[in-house]
Amino acid sequence: EACRVAINRKLKRKGKVWIRVFPHKSITGRPPETRMGKGKGAVEAWVAVIRPGSMLFEVAGVSESAAKEALRLASYKLGVPTRFVVRGNNG
């Protein structure tokens, strides 16, 4: 969510942003100092498992330099190394 906000603030409602990953995995937890048993626990968060080489965001409708700057700002919000890839118009 922080990445999406950073991209949208930089692009200022120009262009289109697609998020290519979806959080399918639920993370559950129980309160601290709780006794064993009594079930699994409530869902605390939803996460997406990301493998190396997967595309996270796609941007269209803006110049390459603007997209690169927006995605650079978004990459600071992630805890993994990222790369900027340009897709050619091969029909």
Percent of the chain with pLDDT over 70: 97
Task: Tell me if 82 is assigned to some domain.
Answer: no
* Residue 89 pLDDT: 67
Task: Tell me if 83 is assigned to some domain.
Answer: no
Task: Tell me if 56 is assigned to some domain.
Answer: yes
Confidence of residue 90 (pLDDT cuts 50, 70, 90): low
* Residue 35 pLDDT: 87
Confidence of residue 32 (pLDDT cuts 50, 70, 90): confident
Specify the pTM. 0.72
Task: Tell me if 86 is assigned to some domain.
Answer: no
Number of domains in the chain: 1
Whose CA is closest to 74, among 51, 55, 48, 52?
55
CATH number (domain holding residue 26): 3.90.1170.10
Q: For residues 50 and 1, what is the distance between their CA atoms, to the nearest angstrom?
A: 15
* Residue 88 pLDDT: 72
